[in-house]
């Protein structure tokens, strides 16, 4: 699992050093160090499922029930088919919980050791694809606990002391989302590096800048690419902020009211790398704000990637012809042999709808829920899993595409004269001659109209023609005309002027540690 620590050299990727101000924590006793064995392993998609022909075993919660649930209810309510990917985090939480229970005298050291050894064995079986996931055991938590009971017997029954599936699942989910954010942050940085690398390869290339999809002013291509780098940096910042807010521990909140047993929630929180336990047990089990914020951050990132995809799909068209994707990131047509399509970026544009839809699903799911836990919240995981998988793929293929395109400089150069892109620079010239901007705007508008009638560019007008519109024009006007001269005149902070863009590039090369 990629770690956020790997990104620590880039300031915006660093989690805040102090805890989120909304959860300041005062301690009246020392915390206890705890070393846990936590392995990063991956769930096998091919792990065997239970044989439906086998008789159902009694539910771990079934003491007060006389009849088992029907097959239809069991199929409808199971979540093991997708929540098994939480297994690593569930085992992490159980290790921390068992160690805390032993420390607090709620189980013996020998029982703790047997539980930890049993969890190690279960984790190994899952990793090797040898674990028998059973739908009649409902979810990842019951599957692991029941398997532990099968494996080590009576001590396993002590593991659920002072714990409910309500606090257990949300602890697992926070841990899973925390790891997912770290992976997304790494992919964001990779795409930023790819875009800056592309910018470095195209120094000095001027392209038309657009507003309303109409030609507006000339800009350096590097400047345009860095606009996406800036957007991605905000995306990273949102995820870092989200990570800090979600990094509080629900474990020990139990079903909703906490427990009368002498547990140490600070100990389990520390062991799992959380900032502190959540203060309110009802909030701890019912809160899904961290998921909503996470999916919201992903949705905004997806919008940015979709805009990048749209731009490059347009630029790869015959009508624009500004870029040529390599064959390695293009596809063809099953019927038209001449076609070469930028399909990866079309799919980036299309898959953004999934990520936005995942957010809407969670917002709708949470809208009418009373406190505290409701079974509806079982439905929070699939949209999150889908959002993370999709956004990781979108980031990866966007970086791949950016490293495999060529800008057609000759085509771009031929396209630049159209649109009178230096008109605003000409207006600035008049302002420097102490002409009010609105008057300057009118004068340049009339000059453009003359060009339209003559089918020429502003720089092609003679001085006499310009002076027929305003006597303010002089020989020095030609230093402001043409896209190259226009670029040279941009000097405000953050503008597309060569010196400004060079400074921006230096900043990003240093920040992203590009060599």
- The residues that are catalytic are 212, 333
Q: Which of 356, 250, 378 is nearest to 303 (CA)?
A: 356
φ, ψ for residue 511 (rounded to 5)? -65, -40
What are the distances in angstroms from CA 438 to CA 421, 429, 442? 18, 13, 6
Question: What element of type H or E holds 208?
Answer: strand 206-211
What are the distances in angstroms from CA 22 to CA 175, 244, 278? 20, 11, 10
What are the distances in angstroms from CA 323 to CA 215, 320, 440? 17, 8, 36
- Residue 215 has a CB neighbour count (10 Å cut-off) of 16
Residues 6+ apart with CB under 8 A from 477: 426, 429, 463, 466
Query: Which residues are bridge partners to 276 per DSSP?
Result: 248
Burial of 335 (C-beta count, 10 Å sphere; 0-12/13-18/19+): exposed
Burial of 46 (C-beta count, 10 Å sphere; 0-12/13-18/19+): exposed
φ, ψ for residue 341 (rounded to 5)? -105, 140
Question: What element of type H or E holds 215?
Answer: strand 214-220
Instruction: Provide the token pair at 134.
Output: 């059973």
d(CA 151, CA 401): 49
């Amino acid at each position: 699992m990629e770690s956020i620590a790997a990104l620590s050299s880039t300031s915006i990727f660093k989690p805040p050093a102090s805890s989120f101000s909304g959860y300041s924590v005062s301690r009246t006793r020392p915390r206890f160090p705890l070393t846990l064995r936590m392995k990063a392993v991956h769930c096998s998609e091919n792990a065997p499922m239970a044989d439906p022909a086998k008789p159902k075993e009694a539910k771990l919660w079934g003491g007060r029930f006389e009849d088992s649930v029907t097959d239809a209810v069991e199929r409808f309510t199971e979540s093991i088919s997708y929540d098994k990917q939480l297994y690593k985090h569930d085992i992490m939480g159980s290790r921390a919980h068992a160690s805390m229970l032993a420390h607090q005298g709620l189980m013996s050291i020998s029982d703790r050791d047997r539980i930890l050894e049993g969890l190690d064995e279960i984790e190994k079986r899952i990793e090797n694809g040898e674990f028998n996931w059973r739908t009649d055991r409902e979810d990842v938590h019951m599957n692991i606990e029941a398997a532990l009971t099968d494996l080590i017997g009576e001590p396993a029954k002590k593991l659920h002391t002072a714990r409910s599936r309500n606090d257990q699942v949300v602890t697992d989910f926070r841990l899973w989302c925390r790891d997912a954010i770290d992976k997304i942050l790494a992919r964001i940085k990779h795409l930023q590096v790819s875009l800056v690398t592309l910018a470095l390869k195209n120094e000095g290339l001027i392209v038309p800048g657009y507003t309303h999809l109409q030609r507006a002013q000339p800009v350096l291509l590097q400047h345009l690419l860095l606009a996406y780098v800036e957007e991605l940096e905000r995306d990273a910042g949102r995820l870092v902020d989200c990570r800090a807010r979600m990094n509080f521990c629900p474990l020990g909140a139990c079903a909703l009211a906490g427990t009368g047993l002498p547990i140490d929630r600070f100990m389990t929180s520390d062991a799992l790398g959380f900032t502190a336990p959540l203060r309110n047990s009802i909030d701890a089990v019912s809160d899904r704000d961290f998921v909503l914020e996470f999916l919201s951050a992903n949705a905004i990132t997806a919008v940015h990637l979709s805009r990048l995809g749209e731009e490059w799909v347009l630029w790869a068209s015959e009508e624009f012809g500004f870029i040529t994707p390599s064959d390695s990131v293009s596809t063809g047509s099953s019927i038209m042999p001449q076609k070469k399509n930028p399909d990866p970026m079309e799919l980036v544009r299309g898959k953004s709808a999934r990520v936005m839809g995942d957010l809407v699903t969670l917002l709708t799911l949470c809208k009418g829920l009373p406190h505290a836990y409701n079974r509806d919240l079982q439905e929070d995981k699939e949209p999150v899993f889908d959002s993370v998988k999709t956004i990781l793929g979108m980031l990866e293929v966007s970086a791949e595409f950016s490293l495999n395109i060529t800008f057609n400089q000759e085509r771009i150069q031929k396209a630049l004269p159209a649109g009178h892109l230096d008109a605003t620079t000409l207006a600035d010239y008049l302002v420097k001659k102490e002409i009010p901007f609105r008057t300057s705007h009118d004068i340049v508008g009339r000059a453009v109209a003359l060009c339209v009638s003559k089918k020429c560019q502003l720089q092609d007008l003679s001085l006499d023609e310009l002076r027929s519109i305003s006597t303010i024009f002089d020989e020095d006007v030609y230093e402001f005309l043409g896209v190259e001269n226009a670029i040279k005149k941009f000097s405000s902070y953050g503008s597309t002027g060569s010196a400004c863009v060079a400074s921006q590039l230096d900043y990003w090369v240093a920040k992203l540690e590009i060599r």
